[in-house]
Amino acid sequence: MYRVLIADDEELELKAMHFFLERNYPEAVLLPDAQDGTQVVETVTKENPELLILDIEMPGLNGLQALTILRERGYEGHVIVKTAYGKFTYAKDALHLHADAYLLKPVRKSELKEHMDEVLSKIEAERKQDTGRENKREFTSGFILSLCFAKEGSQCLSDAGKIKRLSQEAAGKLSLFCDFTICPAEGNVLPILIYTSSAMDEEGYRKLSLDVEEMMSQICRTVFGMAPEMKAGFLIADIEERLPRQLQLQGQGADKAGEQGNAGEQGNAASGSLHLQRAVQYIGEHYIENISLEDIAEHTKLSTSYLSHLFRQELHKNFVDYLTEVRMEQARVLIDQGIDNVNVLAEKVGYQYASYFCRQFKKYTGMTVGEYKRRK
């Protein structure tokens, strides 16, 4: 569902628009109509509709004057402008105010529907980008499961294709009752972090570890053609805080200690930093493209879950937030260089839609593009 405000001072035009929208777009929530520019400003400021269908010639403030005020206040919704006056200056001003369409009355139904469909596709794409952001779960309990392969079978751990398949198979079987992170192999040991969103007592821990061991044994037989010995340990409480420490410990094994253990910790931490450096470099070179965490995981030969953990552990933010930061900082540079056309800026920093870029820019800087340019 999405909210729509129709702004027009002609009753017949309002009735026709209501009939058209109710018949063709039943998912639209129609806000109370606005019949002058002042009402447009008040309603949009209060309701922030996803779509504004705006007539230009209205009493008091005209439609373009109202839209100018709204854009200056940071309104980033989609706008279809319609008018009975074919003035070039109207079309130019509407374009400058980032209107999605400029239509001359009487508007043909087919033309209106074409532009409505296009706008709704943009809204849907923007929503997917928003909901695609990582919804971080709070993990409170977990343990480390070490898959210990016989020496002659350990070479399979260097096969990136098989590790990827292992991750895919595990995701299909484990995701219903726990989350997991496959860590980089250390010799003939492949550590896997198992964690849940609810606290476990000792009995719950034992049951979960047995279930996971049985499933991973079956998965390993399928992927590697053998079942490694499995050791579960390190029952974890408040895993979000202690996860970095557990990742350091995973390289040691339960029986390592002293200097050998310290060396294992340092080596594993350095390995994680090196992987993250490669990920950050890839983002710096490809931020203009439609890249995902999966793309970077494939480039770095890591699982998405482990890569996501590295971002949170070392950069204290998730992948999406880091990518947004890179894009917004580049947008700042471009604006300082004199580029202030939001369509150009959006394209140059990796956004398909200027309206979505504008929302992200204001969220990141606290200012619209125009305000940022005038800040000095």
Q: Which of these, 29, 53, 32, 54, lies nearest to 43 by C-alpha position?
A: 32
Nearest to 302 by CA among 265, 330, 277, 327: 277
Q: Rg of the Cα trace of the chain? A: 28
3-state secondary structure of 302: coil
Q: Which contacts qualify for 104-109: CB closer than 8 Å, 24 or more apart?
A: 105/13, 107/82, 109/20
> Is-above-0.85 flag for pTM?
no
DSSP, res 236: E
Q: Are 56 and 62 in contact (CB under 8 A)?
A: yes
Q: Which residues pair with 364 in a beta bridge?
A: none
Q: How many CB atoms lie within 10 A of CB 156?
A: 20
212-266 pLDDT tens trace? 888 888 888 888 888 888 887 654 444 444 344 444 433 333 333 333 333 333 3
**Strands of the chain, DSSP E:** 2-7, 28-30, 51-55, 78-83, 101-104, 141-148, 179-182, 189-196, 229-237
Q: What is the pLDDT of residues 92-105, one digit of tens each?
A: 788 778 888 888 88
Question: Along the 376 residues of the chain, how does pLDDT read in single tens digits?
Answer: 789 999 999 999 999 999 999 999 988 899 999 999 999 999 998 888 999 999 999 988 899 999 988 887 778 889 999 988 767 778 778 877 888 888 888 888 888 999 999 898 888 887 766 555 444 444 445 677 888 888 766 778 878 788 888 887 887 677 656 777 777 777 788 888 777 655 666 677 777 788 888 888 888 888 888 888 888 765 444 444 434 444 443 333 333 333 333 333 333 444 446 778 888 989 999 999 888 887 888 888 777 767 777 888 788 888 888 999 999 999 999 999 999 898 899 999 998 778 778 888 998 999 999 889 888 6
Dihedrals φ, ψ of 40, to 5°? -60, -50
Query: At 53, phi and psi to the nearest 5?
Result: -100, 110
